[in-house]
Structure 1
Amino acid sequence: MGKYFGTSGIREVVNEKLTPELALKVGKALGTFLGEGKVVVGMDTRTSGEMLKSALISGLLSTGVEVIDIGLSPTPLTGFAIKLYEADAGVTITASHNPPQYNGIKVWQKNGMAYTNEMENELEHILESESFKKAAWNEIGKLSYADPKEEYIKKALEVVNLDDSYTVVLDAGNGAGSILSPYLQRRLGNKVISLNADPSGYFVRELEPNAKSLEGLAKTVRVMKADVGIAHDGDADRIGVVDDEGRFVEYEVMLSLISGYMLRKFGKGKIITTVDAGFALDDYVKPLGGEVVRVKVGDVAVAEGIMRENAIFGGEPSGTWIMPQWNLTPDGIFAGALVLEMIDKLGPLSELAKEVPRYVTLRAKIPCPNGKKKKAMELIEKEALKSFSYKRLIDIDGVRIENDEWWILFRPSGTEPIMRITLEAHTKEKAEELMKKAKEVVERAIREA
């Protein structure tokens, strides 16, 4: 992580660290990095979006790069527009699931995948040194406006089709998904009941779609006797799902179900997930001809894994899914259409969810100063290797040790001064016993670091 770019682009409080001046410089840096070509720019619903987007576009134009402004746009639509307009990059002004006072800048490659750490480091270098390209007065970039929503819907309807019609409650969280997700569902032939669909930038629920933030959605599904509830975060790159009985479907269960459905739809192959995903996924997809490959946490790592392994599907246990047959941008809106197709072909979600094995997952956060993280992780790795009898070790992102009945992941947070422990076991007793021991290992390592 650099000075500006974190685990998911730049994300800061508006007019504190993230100012129009910084957005202008990022625009100049990206234009300089590209040298020439065309960039698609979209934004989510936050009140600061227009201000930051205008500054970023000014920076891009000053380097001679052409800009297509698609205005209010969920992240998946930006990813789609990059390919549609054959652009060389894309930018979304978004802070995804962060609170409304935040905003961010996330850059996308021409194939729809987010910029890698290496690419972001190059942007940082240009930004820091202010070695910006300056176009002559007659070579300043052209600005045009476009609306790719209709093209997106048409293309999605070529990939997904339903034999029947369903009642869908859709909670867009006052985010950018409001302008696209309900419309795609309606065009699939469904009856849509929209919640929090005013793209105002004032969020009436916590943006991360989880059991607590989606209580209103769950209640509406029950009252309206709907077939499913679908929810998004601020830029709709994520999906949260409520089943036909009005229960939030845990992320791990949903990830397993959709992975299984992708194997049924597109044939046997590899499924990419992150090191913090549980065993339920492996156990559920194996009989369907799926093989799970784990990568670092983050959508870039998942997208890279998909390309490297030529995988059928990639997803994180946070509701971030990437469907390579569609795009390499995480897409909660297209994911919503796929969930409906799965229900249409396989039956009600409440029934499907019963097929996914349930294990006990525990999580803990332990305060750890950022300066101690590196040393603490070295000590944890040494100590964990001695304290636990395990069969396999994965050290691509933190340290994950596993055997056939359990796994433990020790990982420093990329965004906060904490060390995370995630573990899973077949029984509650075993999980608690492992957590007690894991906490002791981490606390000792932090003390000694």
Structure 2
Amino acid sequence: MVLDAVNSVGGIVMPRLLEALGVECVKLNCEPTGQFAHNPEPLPSHLTDLCSRVASEKADLGIAVDPDVDRLALVCEDGSFFGEEYTLVSVADYVLSRRPGPTVSNLSSSRALRDVTEAHGCTYTASAVGEVNVTTEMKRTGAVIGGEGNGGVIVPDLHYGRDALIGTALFLSSLVRSGKKVTEVRAGLPQYVISKNRIELSDRSLIEKILEEIKKRYASERITDIDGVKIDFDREKMWVHLRKSNTEPIIRVYSEAADEASAEKVAAEVMDIARKIIG
């Protein structure tokens, strides 16, 4: 496999983990100089070198971690991006197959975790956005695994914090036991697409008015308002989440559906309602 540790502490701890697991590792950006070789956010646009290297090395897998090694991004054997939302989903699917129990992620994370959890006959709960909110809900529900859609995996048996080391170990264990290629693992998970948009405002006082109007318009759907407003369209298996920023005069609009067009459409609908209020 190929490892991209963005020239941070991951360049020390990740090779040690992989060596202990008997994994042959090609190191990319593993000198812990603190001089990041690229933007440290483990997103597709920042991991083009890793994707290319996985393909050229004919590696089974590519792994990228962020500077403090709490987020894990995966690259398939063909050089395609596994999807940061699916790191937690795939690891949870494996954990639940061996130890059934509740799961938790935040409101803006993929519905795929809920689908996988329910397929194992277990209960899924959504928390407000933020690691502390996820872990609080995990403790309340006795969750066996949880995390966030940014590649953060939390396994309480280890500790209540995102940890790319345990995420890596569990994913590799699942890969070995299944005998599948990474692309096959990804194809076997529920297929969703998330769209991320934003509404900019000059008047922050309009935010609550917009959120209240959205709740009224979609009152017939399942609404969660513990952190902004999330509308779940359960029949269509899609959702849209509006959440105000604490630092900027904006509302973040995340939506998810089975295809990009549907995710964009539901986002456009709520954004149109907001713009009419803004004027």
Deviation of 1:304 after TM superposition, in Å, equals 1.0
Answer yes or no: is 1:169 the counterpart of 2:8. Answer: no
Residues 224 and 433 of structure 1: CA distance in aligned 2, closer, same or farther (over 3 Å): closer
CA RMSD of aligned residues (A): 1.8
Per-residue CA shift, 1:295-344, capped at 9, x if unaligned?
A: 01111111111111110101101111111111112111221121111111
Kindly indicate whether the alpha-carbon contact (under 8 Å) linking 1:177 and 1:333 is maintained by their aligned counterparts in 2.
Answer: no
Instruction: Output the amino acid matched with 2:30.
Output: A
Match of 2:27 in 1: 194
Instruction: Output the amino acid matched with 1:411.
Output: R
Per-residue CA shift, 1:21-60, capped at 9, x if unaligned?
A: xxxxxxxxxxxxxxxxxxxxxxxxxxxxxxxxxxxxxxxx
- Provide the C-alpha distance between the structure 2 equivalents of 1:416 and 1:234, rounded to a whole number of angstroms: 25
- Provide the C-alpha distance between the structure 1 equivalents of 2:218 and 2:75, rounded to a whole number of angstroms: 37
- Provide the C-alpha distance between the structure 1 equivalents of 2:68 and 2:261, rounded to a whole number of angstroms: 39
Please, which runs of 5 or more residues in structure 2 have no aligned partner?
Answer: none
- Provide the C-alpha distance between the structure 2 equivalents of 1:177 and 1:432, rounded to a whole number of angstroms: 36
Match of 1:144 in 2: none
Answer yes or no: is 1:278 the counterpart of 2:95. Answer: no
The structure whose Rg is larger is 1
Match of 1:333 in 2: 165
Which deviates more from structure 2 when the two are superposed, residues 413-422 or residues 200-209?
Answer: 413-422
Per-residue CA shift, 1:55-112, capped at 9, x if unaligned?
A: xxxxxxxxxxxxxxxxxxxxxxxxxxxxxxxxxxxxxxxxxxxxxxxxxxxxxxxxxx
Q: 1:381 aligns with which of 186, 211, 217?
A: 211
Deviation of 1:217 after TM superposition, in Å, equals 0.9
- Provide the C-alpha distance between the structure 1 equivalents of 2:247 and 2:76, rounded to a whole number of angstroms: 32
- Provide the C-alpha distance between the structure 1 equivalents of 2:80 and 2:240, rounded to a whole number of angstroms: 28
Instruction: Output the amino acid matched with 1:396.
Output: I
Deviation of 1:274 after TM superposition, in Å, equals 0.3
Answer yes or no: is 1:269 the counterpart of 2:86. Answer: no
Residues 324 and 393 of structure 1: CA distance in aligned 2, closer, same or farther (over 3 Å): same
Kindly indicate whether the alpha-carbon contact (under 8 Å) linking 2:55 and 2:78 is maintained by their aligned counterparts in 1.
Answer: yes
Residues 247 and 429 of structure 1: CA distance in aligned 2, closer, same or farther (over 3 Å): closer
Q: 1:208 aligns with which of 41, 47, 52?
A: 41
Normalised TM-score (structure 2): 0.92
Please, which runs of 5 or more residues in structure 1 have no aligned partner?
Answer: 1-167
- 1:293 aligned counterpart, secondary structure: strand
- Provide the C-alpha distance between the structure 2 equivalents of 1:188 and 1:360, rounded to a whole number of angstroms: 33
Match of 2:249 in 1: 417
- Provide the C-alpha distance between the structure 1 equivalents of 2:193 and 2:164, rounded to a whole number of angstroms: 27
Q: 1:397 aligns with which of 202, 223, 227?
A: 227
- Provide the C-alpha distance between the structure 2 equivalents of 1:219 and 1:429, rounded to a whole number of angstroms: 28
- 2:162 aligned counterpart, secondary structure: coil
Kindly indicate whether the alpha-carbon contact (under 8 Å) linking 1:377 and 1:398 is maintained by their aligned counterparts in 2.
Answer: no
Count of matched residue pairs = 276
Answer yes or no: is 1:323 the counterpart of 2:152. Answer: no
Q: 2:134 aligns with which of 289, 302, 309?
A: 302
Residues 290 and 251 of structure 1: CA distance in aligned 2, closer, same or farther (over 3 Å): farther
- 1:269 aligned counterpart, secondary structure: coil
Tell me which stretches of 4 or more aligned residues in structure 1 moved more than 4 Å: none
